[in-house]
Amino acid sequence: MSRRFQQIARFVVQNPNDVALDSVKAISATAGVQPSTLVRFAQSFGYGGFSDMQRVFQSRLLTAAPSLNDRLSALRRELGGRAGGTNLKALSELVIGDIAALQHLMESITEESLADAARLLAKARTIHIIGQLRAYPVANYLRYVLTHLRRDVRLLDGAGGLAAEQAQLMDEGCVLLAVSFRFYAREVIDIVEAAAKRGIPIVALTDSQLSPLAKHATVTLEVPEGEFNFTHSLAAPMCLAQAIVICMTNLLPEGSAAGSVAPGRGPLKPR
């Protein structure tokens, strides 16, 4: 897929309601491409033109949950006026973004995908974790809590530039838990691709089905995001990481973890 088509694909995934309702001219202006490029994009998927593809999004709109951007707009209308000065407005905008992201997370994750990820991780002899750039805090948290649960965990942190060499230690019985968001770390993509070629099961925590991780993953857990900015929150990815751990813990034999994080099995012992 060309760079322009990737740009359109990201816009379509993030703004499905706009695609359903706006004109080709308005969509192309917002997406930053020419109208003719939108037409070619639709034709590349077998549609006669952009209008044919647009009808699919219009049908979806009748039953679909609000998009992330729709949620943001609604929350800004509801809560945005409560802030006072400039600093409180900045805080308000961040909180509104987190609320919208968490609401959208509830709609985007399925029972099946969580169950599949939990089963892979619970059965794994060793869990290898990788996450760089903005995803690194999520990967490090997963390493911490899974170690606390007495799982054999290896964080491919690339100390000394050896992340690829660390990944070569994966073999039968291992699972790769990969975390990456736009803009995707090249080394993470390379390690995921190499693991897939070797038949290593991969659980991907990422921001889109268009992510380079998704096409190689055994299970993809999607955390949809809006437009990127440097303060992009990790509230939704962290929440999903916690949910993955809880679901996995429910599958472990009693007494195999150092304190439970699952409902009904007692509190996680603080460290």
**Domain annotation for the chain: domains and CATH numbers:** 3-61 (1.10.10.10), 68-106 (no CATH), 111-249 (3.40.50.10490)
* pLDDT for residue 151: 94
* pLDDT for residue 47: 92
258 vs 28 pLDDT, higher one: 28
Q: What is the pLDDT of residues 44-83, one digit of tens each?
A: 999 999 999 988 888 766 555 566 666 666 666 666 666 6
Is 121 in contact with 177 (CB distance < 8 Å)? Answer: yes
What percent of the chain is predicted at pLDDT more than 70?
A: 82
Tokens 């660390």 correspond to 166
pLDDT bracket for residue 173 (50, 70, 90): very high
The distance of Cα 54 from the centroid of its chain, to the nearest Å, equals 25
* pLDDT for residue 145: 95
Tell me the DSSP string of the chain.
Answer: --HHHHHHHHHHHH-HHHHHHS-HHHHHHHHTS-HHHHHHHHHHTT-SSHHHHHHHHHHHHTTPPPPHHHHHHHHHHHHGGG--SHHHHHHHHHHHHHHHHHHHHHHH--HHHHHHHHHHHHH-SEEEEEE-GGGHHHHHHHHHHHHHTT--EEE---GGG-HHHHHTT--TTEEEEEEE-SSPPHHHHHHHHHHHHTT--EEEEES-TTSTTGGG-SEEEE----S--TT---HHHHHHHHHHHHHHHTTSPTTSSSS--STTS-PPPP-
In this predicted structure, which of 51-55, 61-65, 173-177, 179-183 has the lowest mean pLDDT?
A: 61-65
**pLDDT, average across residues 226-253:** 84
Asked if the model's pLDDT at residue 198 lies above 90, the reply is: yes
Residue 102 to residue 59: CA distance in whole angstroms: 25
Asked if the model's pLDDT at residue 86 lies above 90, the reply is: no
* pLDDT for residue 94: 81
* pLDDT for residue 270: 44
* pLDDT for residue 267: 43
**pLDDT, average across residues 160-172:** 89
**pLDDT, average across residues 211-217:** 92
Residue 168 to residue 85: CA distance in whole angstroms: 53
